[in-house]
A and B are shown apart, each in its own frame.
Chain A
């Protein structure tokens, strides 16, 4: 008899892109600060170590790039290789571009009339249709993951909050991070500041050191964490929260994740 948690993890691995629990997802831009409209190239991967491609490419079909004026920009030269996806972007407008990938998946299991445990996977609509009326021990959870990075050309511009799921709402602008200066990051769930969100930060270069050296924080009552970076480089931020505000009454739990790649300059 498999334990439910192992089944859920197995289902997550099989789903691939939604596997925030087993592997790390990220997008990393060649530059985040530009003084002229010029090309950046972005890697998207699912991997174990920051920021090394050692597992699978991250699909960027649902990539949404938002320009400073709110319009959508299409990536160019999109390529999906063995270990990473790549695309190019040329920020033409002064201000901040938000690059976002949103993944929503539902997983779960039930025990059927014959006593067999069945896994569930697919889109929210598909899953709810798969559960027969006489199913027992039905547990369904949904995962909502937002993966982002930011590129600024010229002067940073304000980012409009999305208002759905778990997101970073800048107090300190994500392209204004410098060693030795206090950084304030706020996290909202469904448009409201969220306390008790677990936030983890991992610096680039994991291969060249013995430990992950993750820094852990929990958001306060204002949904904020405050920190000062001691070293420059690319950092992987992972914020997680769980609640019961699911999109359907038959879904028991909602697992929210927000992932961002932040560049800290010296």
Chain B
């Protein structure tokens, strides 16, 4: 009698596959290794927009938080899309959002829906933006659109060309 065993197996698999955490996003940001004479860690901002370009929230901002007299805020405007859309309305530092710059490599951040800084998302189309600006370097914006809620766990990605490497978004329904 195979059918009851298969149903039990499917049910077990379904239980094992359920994510332990609440619904949310996992964002992966790769800072590429660059062969330049004078290297500075980039400023990076990641934020969420609705289809109409209104901003849901800023998820993370990496900038030089340690400079005296908040001198590091001088270059926040170089992340110019973030700055115009929302950055200039904010007062940094922001708990749970702003943090120091990060080195070359792959970085991963998790955001749970309903927990600062990611609010509960209404169903609809969204775009995750990741913008990087580097001192004595360039600026790049990588955007990944997605639908919420995700019917199943989804892994989306986009490749930066210069100041950003692989950007990934894992949607946890």
- A residues with a Cβ closer than 8 A to B are 33-36, 38, 154-156, 176, 178, 265-266
B64 CB to nearest A CB, Å:
12
Instruction: Give A94's nearest chain B residue, CB to CB.
Output: B88
| Further contacts, 5 of them, CB under 8 A, given A35-B73, A36-B74 | A36-B70, A36-B76, A155-B88, A156-B88, A266-B80
Q: Which 6 A-B pairs have the closest CB atoms?
A: A35-B77, A35-B76, A36-B74, A36-B73, A155-B88, A33-B77
The reply on B83 being an interface residue by CB < 8 A is yes
Task: Please tell me if the beta carbons of B88 and A35 are within 8 angstroms of each other in the complex.
Answer: yes
A265 CB to nearest B CB, Å:
6
| Residues of A close to B89: CB separation below 8 A | 155
| Residues of B close to A266: CB separation below 8 A | 80
Q: How far is the CA of A36 from the CA of B68 in the complex (A)?
A: 13
Task: Please tell me if the beta carbons of B84 and A34 are within 8 angstroms of each other in the complex.
Answer: no
Task: Please tell me if the beta carbons of B74 and A176 are within 8 angstroms of each other in the complex.
Answer: no
Task: Please tell me if the beta carbons of B83 and A35 are within 8 angstroms of each other in the complex.
Answer: yes
Q: How far is the CA of A266 from the CA of B87 in the complex (A)?
A: 17
| Residues of A close to B71: CB separation below 8 A | 36
| Residues of B close to A154: CB separation below 8 A | 88
Q: Which of B70-96 contact A (CB under 8 A)?
A: 70-71, 73-77, 80, 83-84, 87-89
Number of A-B contacts (CB under 8 A): 27
Q: How far is the CA of A156 from the CA of B83 in the complex (A)?
A: 12
Q: Give the interface centre of A33, A35, A38, A265 by most chain B CB atoms within 10 Å.
A: A35
Q: How far is the CA of A118 from the CA of B92 in the complex (A)?
A: 64
B88 CB to nearest A CB, Å:
5
Q: How far is the CA of A33 from the CA of B84 in the complex (A)?
A: 10
| Residues of A close to B87: CB separation below 8 A | 35
- A–B pairs, 5, beta carbons within 8 Å: A33-B77, A35-B83, A35-B87, A154-B88, A178-B84
| Majority-rule SS of B interface residues | helix
Instruction: Give B74's nearest chain A residue, CB to CB.
Output: A36
Task: Please tell me if the beta carbons of B74 and A35 are within 8 angstroms of each other in the complex.
Answer: yes
| Residues of B close to A38: CB separation below 8 A | 74
Q: How far is the CA of A176 from the CA of B85 in the complex (A)?
A: 11
Q: How far is the CA of A38 from the CA of B74 in the complex (A)?
A: 8
| Residues of A close to B83: CB separation below 8 A | 33, 35
Q: Which of B104-153 contact A (CB under 8 A)?
A: none
| Residues of B close to A176: CB separation below 8 A | 84
| Residues of A close to B80: CB separation below 8 A | 33, 265-266
Q: Give the interface centre of B70, B75, B88, B89 by most chain A CB atoms within 10 Å.
A: B88
| Residues of A close to B75: CB separation below 8 A | 35
Q: How far is the CA of A212 from the CA of B80 in the complex (A)?
A: 29
A38 CB to nearest B CB, Å:
6
Instruction: Give A156's nearest chain B residue, CB to CB.
Output: B88
| Residues of A close to B70: CB separation below 8 A | 36
Q: How far is the CA of A33 from the CA of B89 in the complex (A)?
A: 13
Q: How far is the CA of A156 from the CA of B77 in the complex (A)?
A: 13
A89 CB to nearest B CB, Å:
16
Instruction: Give B88's nearest chain A residue, CB to CB.
Output: A155
Q: How far is the CA of A155 from the CA of B83 in the complex (A)?
A: 9
Instruction: Give B89's nearest chain A residue, CB to CB.
Output: A155
Q: How far is the CA of A167 from the CA of B88 in the complex (A)?
A: 27
Q: How far is the CA of A49 from the CA of B83 in the complex (A)?
A: 32
Instruction: Give B75's nearest chain A residue, CB to CB.
Output: A35
| Residues of B close to A36: CB separation below 8 A | 70-71, 73-74, 76
A205 CB to nearest B CB, Å:
21
Instruction: Give A152's nearest chain B residue, CB to CB.
Output: B88
Instruction: Give A265's nearest chain B residue, CB to CB.
Output: B80
A247 CB to nearest B CB, Å:
41
